[in-house]
Each structure stands twice: as C-alpha cells, then as structure tokens.
Structure 1
Amino acid sequence: MAIADRTATAVWKGGLKDGSGVISTQSGVLKDQEYSFVTRFENKPGTNPEELIAASHAGCYSMALSAELTKNNTPPASIDTTAKVTLDMVNGAPTVNKILLTVKASVPGLDAAKFHEIADGAKKNCPISRLLAAAEITLDATLL
C-alpha cells in the first residue's frame, strides 16, 4: 500500500525547439507553469524539469535531515538546503548525472562530527536521493 500518490501533468505542443508546454500539479501549487527548450537548455527565465527535481530533492533532504536530527534528540532550529542538479551530455544524450546538496543547519547541542554523520545518513535515506541514485549525489554540510 502506498503512503502517498502524487500527480503532475505536462502538456507539450510543437517541436522540441519551437514548441512549449505547461506543467501543473495535483495540489495546484503549479498551474499551467510554462516551460520550453530555452528555459531548459538556454537558461531563460521559466522552469524546467531539472529545476523541479532540485526543488524536490532540497525539500525532501531537509525533511529527512530534520527527522534524523530529531531521532538523535537534537531537533534543528533551522535547515537551509540547496540542490544543484547538473544536466550534462553523456554518451550523446542529455543526462542528469550530478546533484550537489548544500546544507546549512543550526542544531543546538550537536557537535560537528555527529552532525556530519547524521547529514550523510539523511542523504542516503532521503526518498528522493534513493530515487535519483543513478546520479552522483554529493553533500556539502555546514553546522552553524
């Protein structure tokens, strides 16, 4: 039995370079959000699949780290995570092959060594990290 099912839709019209699409989510947070070749491959304003993956990974990792810190009886005061998703050409095909998670956390009463141990464990156990395991996922963790 699934814990949760979430859906999103994408509608694309036209060719790859001259077409465009819209993405919507079940919750309505994204509703007909436009995306296109230029927002994905030319860094023009607008969203793209890699940005959405980065948002998902940053959010999931922050929650996983909070859960692990709380289990350690050292709940965080704050966690600030950035996920950088890299899209490279691999064997002639665009491929998400790297993700860098950068986290800064304020955790009263926790030493740096234990923080890094917990942060690394959260990286390995975050559901989105497990989903994206085909990519190289690195972590830069800072205890504030």
Structure 2
Amino acid sequence: MKKTASARWQGGIKDGQGSISSQSGVLNDTPYGFNTRFTDQPGTNPEELIGAAHAACFSMALSKELGDAGMTAERIDTKAEVTLDKVDGGFEISAVHLSLRAKIPGAERAAFEKAVETAKTGCPVSKVLNAKITLEAVLDS
C-alpha cells in the first residue's frame, strides 16, 4: 500500500509561500509558510501535520491492541505535541509527547497500560520518527 502527498514552494524562505495536497483530497493546496511555522499566524505547518498523523496512528494502534486484549474503547482522545528545536544552524524534531485520555468500560489498569505501551512503540508513525516519544495516559472510569 502506498499513499501520496505533495508540496509546492515558491519564493524565499521568509517571503515565500507553499501549499500541501494529499491523495485523498483532505488537503488540497492548503497553504503553509514561514509565518505559519515559526510564528502564530493561522495556517498549517509540517510539525502540526506530523502531530496529527502520530495522534491518529497511535489511536488506531491502541484500538487494535485493546481489541486483542478483549477490550473496546468507548473513546480514545490523543493529542500530540511535536517539539521543533534549533540545532547546529538548522532544526530537528527532537520529541513528540502524546497525551491520551481513554474511556474503556471494564478495563483493567495493567492490561490498559500494556496496550498503550505496545501501541506507542508499534504504531508505524512512531517507528518512522527519530525523536524521543513520551506518553501520558489517563483511563477514565
């Protein structure tokens, strides 16, 4: 299986503008630029997109792990905070912190924690990132 996305950039780093599109059409010439990445101007940026992908991938992986353990989540809410650090004249994504809040009727804490850890290390987006990935999980009763 292969999925595609594309980006177009025009101009210099600070005055230029880009757009991102995805095969599904969910992103269709969605604008991004220096100001949407490094200031608070509205628009998307690569780190936000990586965070969305990681939160979605982890949530799906957790759903699978819970199912394998005989549990079904009523709700899985995941937020990803992506850290972009300046290093050696450039930038790197150094960390991703996942915050999870899940409601799983009848879940036992140990089985929940095992499923969470397996999903964190096993989801495809976690595997592709060369960053420190931390996670905080809350199981609502």
Structures share fold, TM-score greater than 0.5: yes
Q: Tell me the alpha carbon deviations over residues 56-95 of structure 1, each in whole angstroms, 9 at most, x when there is no partner.
A: 0000000000000000001111100000101011233211
After TM superposition, where is structure 1 displaced by more than 2 Å over at least 4 residues in a row? Answer: none
Count of matched residue positions in the alignment of Structure 1 and Structure 2: 140
Identical-pair percentage: 51
Q: In the TM superposition, what is the alpha-carbon distance from 1:40 to its structure 2 partner?
A: 0.5
Cα distance in structure 2, aligned partners of 1:138 and 1:35: 27
User: Residue type matched to 1:81 in 2?
Assistant: T
TM-score, normalised with respect to structure 2: 0.96
Q: Which residue type is aligned with residue 126 of structure 2?
A: S
**Residue in structure 2 matched with residue 28 of structure 1 by the alignment:** 25
Helix, strand or coil at the partner of 1:130: helix
Shift of 1:43: 2.3
Structure-1-length-normalised TM-score: 0.94
SS in 2 for 1:23: strand
Q: Deviations over 1:39-64 (max 9, x none)?
A: 00112110000000000000000000
* Per-residue deviation, 1:111: 1.8
2:41 aligns with 44
Aligned twin of 1:127 = 124
1:99-127, CA deviations, whole angstroms, 9 ceiling, x for partnerless residues?
A: 00000011111122321121011100000
For the 8 Å contact 2:69–2:111, the answer to whether it is kept is: no
Give the unaligned 5+ runs of structure 2. none
Q: Which amino acid aligns with 1:49?
A: P
The aligned residue for residue 132 of structure 2 is 136
Q: Is the 8 A contact 2:95 2:131 kept in 1?
A: yes
- 1:105 partnered with 2:109: no
Name the stretch that deviates more: 57-66 or 116-125. 116-125
Give yes or no for the alignment of 1:116 onto 2:116. Answer: no
Instruction: Find the aligned partners of 1:82 and 1:102 in 2 and give their Cα distance.
Output: 5
